[in-house]
Chains A and B, each alone.
Chain A
């Protein structure tokens, strides 16, 4: 069973860069069976899909982030990561890592990490 654990900065200043790491266990991040995704949820609001990456290199992002997001894999550490540039207070949210498959969609989730954007 795939398990995911998020780690993040907790607090980021406006205009700076948010970096989030997802550590994967129970599966290889290089496996072509899975894709790796990030989702966020502002307090009291709905979930927003950020993007997903296939180990083959295909990456898809939500256009709403206006090219500020980058998802990358670190196969040596079995991790994937999110970099979100030029953050504003609107980026304050609980960020989730997730894995999925083409057939099953998102099937495993991390517990989530709260990232607050504030000066």
Chain B
């Protein structure tokens, strides 16, 4: 199975900050990476697919980049509603696998 190593596991930041979350795959996965946002008790929300394409309605302060094995989610200008847990996931091959999550907390 492909391992997705996500870092950091937690992150403290303030409104307006720029934050970066990284995901490293254990083998090359082309650009088949999605990023999800999860808030307690709510359905996960897909933000970005194919490494860098925003889903409709996702604010432009979210961006994704990377290729091969290294991928990044960046939030530029944190808003209050962005404090949540974020996951990466590869859909290059079976089984689909997830990063362990990054909990973004308010400083």
- Say yes or no: A60-B55 contact (C-beta < 8 A), given A104-B50, A107-B46: no
Interface extent on A, as a size class?
20 to 34
CB <8 Å contact, B95 and A103? no
CB <8 Å contact, B49 and A103? yes
CB <8 Å contact, A105 and B34? yes
Q: How far is the CB of B38 from chain A (nearest CB, A)?
A: 9
- Say yes or no: A109-B46 contact (C-beta < 8 A), given A47-B87, A100-B91: yes
What CA separation (Å) do A110 and B50 show in the bound complex? 21
Whether A90 is near chain B, meaning CB under 8 Å from some CB there, is no
CB <8 Å contact, B96 and A49? yes
CB <8 Å contact, A47 and B98? yes
Q: Mark A47-89, 1 if CB is under 8 A from B, else 0.
A: 1110010000000101110000000000000000000000000
Chain A residue numbers with a CB within 8 Å of B46 are 104-109
Q: Mark A89-105, 1 if CB is under 8 A from B, else 0.
A: 00000001000100111
Whether A46 is near chain B, meaning CB under 8 Å from some CB there, is yes
Whether B44 is near chain A, meaning CB under 8 Å from some CB there, is yes
Which residue in chain A gives the minimum CB-CB distance to B34?
A105
Q: How far is the CB of A10 from chain B (nearest CB, A)?
A: 16
Point out residues on B near A: beta carbons under 8 Å.
Answer: 32, 34, 36, 41-46, 49-50, 53, 55, 87, 89, 91, 94-101
Pairs across A and B, CB under 8 Å, 28 listed: A37-B96, A46-B100, A47-B87, A47-B89, A47-B98, A47-B101, A48-B98, A49-B95, A49-B97, A60-B95, A62-B95, A63-B95, A64-B95, A103-B50, A104-B50, A105-B34, A105-B49, A105-B91, A106-B34, A106-B36, A106-B89, A106-B91, A107-B34, A107-B55, A108-B46, A109-B46, A111-B41, A111-B43
